[in-house]
Structure 1
Amino acid sequence: MSNIEVIKKHALTGHQNPIFALERNVDSTLLFTAGNDKGVVEWDLIKGEFKRVLLPVKSSVYCLHRIANSSLLAVGERSGLVTIVDFEANKVVAKLIHHEKPVFGIQSFYSKPELIVSSEDGTVSIWNTQSFQRLYNFSVSKDTVRCIALNKEENVFALGSKDSKIRIFDAKEYSLIHEIDEHSAAITALCFSPDTHQLLTGGRDAQLNIFDPIDYHLVKNLTAHMFTVYGIVYNPELPILATASRDKSIKIWRAEDYSLLKNISLEKGYPVHRLSINNILWSSRNTLITVSDDKTVMVWEINIT
């Protein structure tokens, strides 16, 4: 893994304002994006082109999440509304009305029909994904609960808040089991490693922290970017991960020791975003997708030898 070739395959345009959220379908043929405009957009990833507006919305969308074991997409809005749309049947199946402030995080389980929703109101709500009835609601912080990460075993999940703290919850009882206070600013990205042996966290302090989930002690600290870390994602097949930032760069890291493999940035000569990169995902082994304040979706081919 000594050489990385980076090719920009597509620059998808059509959004009229900054893009904050992205998600894909199961086989990565479709991409969904949304942000500070009036709709959730569906793109054809095979052709690299606009397909349709999947869902008109009345307020900005801060998060998109495909519900596990389904063709349902959960759309979290600035208004606090979460709309559940079946993207195969092309219909709205439920509207989750509870939060009165923006929804920033949504996560679902494979092992049980439940959905976690986090909000600027500092609380988290739990919903049944079959009846779409609210099961629980609990307070987490006095500030925004920005992001959610569920580990592979689905026995614990982490919540990152504006108060710079990460709180670990039991996924069965929804009880608080640990609190981490290592960042100096709001938490903006969370990710468990695929083997669940590490919890990675990013914040507005530009730091990337790696914790051991046995007792959540800090294993490694990196100043990963110049500004806010908005995304941390592991490659689905290769031992690498990618981060994205407000500093307009994408970085590829070796998963084994977190050494930097590639800095994809304007300074390094890459045709990357001109403004903040707000979200990132791997759609396949060699395809990385980013969205930005510059209103553009970029699809990258990452070849590693």
Structure 2
Amino acid sequence: MKLSIELDAILSGHQNPIYTVENGPEPYQLFTGGNDKGLVLWNLEKMNFEKILLPVQSSIYSAHYDSNTDVLFVGERNGKINIYSFKEEKNLSPLLYHEKPVFDIATLNEKKELLAASEDGKVSIWCLKTFKKLHHLDISQDTIRTIAISPDQKTVAFGAKDSRIYIFNTEDYSFKKLVKQHTMPVTSMTFSPDGRYFLSGGRDAKLFIYDAFDFSLIKDITAHMFTVYGISYHPHLPLFATGSRDKSIKLWDAETFELIKTISFEKGYDAHKLSINKIVWNRNSDQLISVGDEKLAYVWNISSV
């Protein structure tokens, strides 16, 4: 596959490193958050700053927009999960349970449940209708860094700092399988859109490809020089991207898992010069957005030629 790669814009305004990036309700809306005191809303049509949507008390480590409820959830370093309702155009009462950082947030739309992973080794589960806590899972003695939910929403994976991946059934949260391939903390995970594959990245710079049915290992790739902080599939092309602490973005064939292209300063691109902490594809376009330690959001246009 031949790709056209262009840098559309560099969004500046953050005063500190950016840790998370998320799509908004509209295709042109983008959210970023980090070691600043607020979640920033950007306009991708005008490529400019819109406003601070949500003021916070501590660093933002995670953000998740749920299109079914039209609600944005934001996880902080202090354990608080903020809620912003776009229907009501206001902040709702935060979810309070964790006392340590919330590193990832995901939703099970069929069950109408929210899942939040924390440094305390627990995953809290909340009702999306009432925002009441239903229960929690004691996953590990160490940080739960990342969550991945299968496309059929029957399986959920939790990636931990102890280098293990814990697989559960979503119907009753019964334990399904323990996956142990990484030798260092698991920092990113995703299922392929067709549900055939499960991918994980870690601090060991590895990218592992598994069969999503039984989680048997298909391929072992040394994908980067340092931590793999993001794995994200293109919304319509058969490729996915990885972002790393080594300051590079890599584009991979979704069927063969072969490397297609590397985007980095060393490869001649006007790219990140510090760690890339998160990547996300715009749901409705060829835009890939990457954020990192140099306080900037890079907007890339990546399309097939």
TM tier, shorter chain?
Answer: over 0.9
Q: Deviation string for 1:173-197 (max 9, x for gaps)?
A: 1111100000000000000001111
Residue 288, structure 1, aligned to residue 288, structure 2: yes
Aligned to 2:178: 179
Aligned to 2:37: 38
Aligned to 2:236: 237
Relative to the length of structure 2, the TM-score reads 0.98
Residue 299, structure 1, aligned to residue 299, structure 2: yes
Q: Return 5+ residue gaps in structure 1 as ranges.
A: none
Relative to the length of structure 1, the TM-score reads 0.98
Q: Return 5+ residue gaps in structure 2 as ranges.
A: none
Aligned to 1:148: 147
Q: Deviation string for 1:229-253 (max 9, x for gaps)?
A: 0000011101000000000000000
Aligned to 2:250: 251
- Matched-pair contact (CA < 8 Å) for 2:249–2:264: yes
Aligned to 2:64: 65
> SS of the counterpart of 1:247?
coil
**Whole-angstrom CA distance in 2 between matches of 1:116 and 1:242:** 24
Q: Deviation string for 1:191-238 (max 9, x for gaps)?
A: 000111110000000000001122211100100000000000011101
The alpha carbon displacement at 1:113 in A equals 1.2
- Matched-pair contact (CA < 8 Å) for 1:185–1:204: yes
Residues 85-234 of structure 1 aligned to structure 2 (within 5 Å): 85-87=84-86, 89-234=88-233
Given residue 33 of structure 2, which amino acid in structure 1 is its aligned partner?
A
**Whole-angstrom CA distance in 2 between matches of 1:40 and 1:240:** 29
The alpha carbon displacement at 1:88 in A equals 5.2
**Whole-angstrom CA distance in 2 between matches of 1:269 and 1:76:** 35
| Worse-superposed segment, 60-69 or 159-168 | 60-69
Identity of aligned residues (%): 47
- Matched-pair contact (CA < 8 Å) for 2:232–2:241: yes
The alpha carbon displacement at 1:93 in A equals 1.7
Q: Which runs of 4+ in 1 moved over 2 A?
A: 87-90
**Whole-angstrom CA distance in 2 between matches of 1:29 and 1:202:** 29
| Worse-superposed segment, 106-115 or 183-192 | 106-115
> SS of the counterpart of 1:242?
strand
Aligned to 1:7: 6
**Whole-angstrom CA distance in 1 between matches of 2:243 and 2:159:** 17
**Equivalent residue pairs, number:** 304
The alpha carbon displacement at 1:5 in A equals 1.7
- Matched-pair contact (CA < 8 Å) for 2:7–2:270: yes
- Matched-pair contact (CA < 8 Å) for 2:25–2:67: no
Given residue 249 of structure 1, which amino acid in structure 2 is its aligned partner?
S
Residues 266-277 of structure 1 aligned to structure 2 (within 5 Å): 266-277=265-276
Residues 12-23 of structure 1 aligned to structure 2 (within 5 Å): 12-23=11-22
